[in-house]
Copies of this chain bind each other. A is one copy, B any other.
Amino acid sequence: MAEENGQNMFRRGVMPLVVLALLKREDMYGYQLVQEIGRVSGGRLSVQEGSLYPILYKLLEQGFISDRREPVGKRMTRIYYHLEPKGETRLEALTREYETVVSGVYQFIHRDKENDDER
By a CB distance below 8 angstroms, the chain B residues around A60 are none
Contact A14 B101 (CB under 8 A): yes
Contact B100 A109 (CB under 8 A): no
Q: Report copies per complex.
A: 2
Chain A positions 84 through 103: 1 when the CB is less than 8 Å from some CB of chain B, otherwise 0? 00000000010101101111
Size of the A side of the interface (Cβ < 8 Å), in residues, is: 38
Given A13-B12, A101-B11, A101-B14, check contact A42 B107 (CB 8 Å). yes
Task: Verify if A111 is at the interface (C-beta below 8 Å from B).
Answer: yes
Contact A95 B107 (CB under 8 A): no
Task: Verify if A50 is at the interface (C-beta below 8 Å from B).
Answer: no
A-B contact pairs, 15 of them (CB 8 A): A6-B97, A8-B101, A9-B97, A10-B13, A10-B14, A11-B101, A11-B105, A21-B111, A22-B108, A40-B117, A44-B100, A44-B103, A44-B104, A45-B105, A98-B109
